[in-house]
Copies of this chain bind each other. A is one copy, B any other.
Amino acid sequence: MILELQRATHATLQVLSARLVDLDLTPSELNALGNLADGTGRTVSELGAAVGSRPTTLTGVLDRLERRGLITRGARPGDRRAVLITLTDDGVATAAVITRAIADLEAETLAGLPASAVEGALAVLRALTR
């Protein structure tokens, strides 16, 4: 099961990055934008927890995204230590492309499977996440 999990994740990432190659973003950059896609701002720590990276790693990722005009770094009201990451208009558009690609791939691969299999898979994935 765990080996299949790794394989499936790897294959999925391969397909996604191939479909999104025109965006010219690294996997970490795609991951960060995808997590910000709902339009809600997040601090560096919150984003790090969501994408599974340390603040020290995110600094470089966010530097590149900021340089390309996809995000902005602002202050969080109430705590001037925290940095609030927000998508720019360009960032929102790019994040939408990523979200759409994920939804499309998911719909394609799950199309032929019974609902019970999908439910079972979600149960297993959540058990593994704990």
Q: Which residues of A contact B (CB under 8 A)?
A: 1-12, 52, 102, 105-106, 109-110, 112-114, 116-130
Q: Assuming A9-B6, A11-B129, A129-B4, is B110 touching A124 (CB within 8 A)?
A: yes
**B residues near A116, Cβ cutoff 8 Å:** 116, 120
Q: Copies of this chain, how many?
A: 2
> Whole-angstrom distance between the alpha carbons of A118 and B2 in the complex?
11
Q: Which among A2, A52, A109, A123 has the greatest number of chain B C-beta atoms within 10 A?
A: A2
Q: Which B residues lie within 8 Å of A110 (CB)?
A: 1, 124, 127
B109, A130: Cβ atoms closer than 8 Å: yes
CA–CA, A11 and B21, complex, Å: 27
User: What are 10 A-B pairs with beta-carbon distances under 8 A?
Assistant: A2-B12, A2-B102, A2-B105, A4-B129, A6-B12, A8-B129, A109-B130, A117-B119, A117-B123, A119-B120
B residues in contact with A118, CB < 8 Å: 1, 120, 124
Contacts of A113 in B (CB 8 A): 123-124, 127
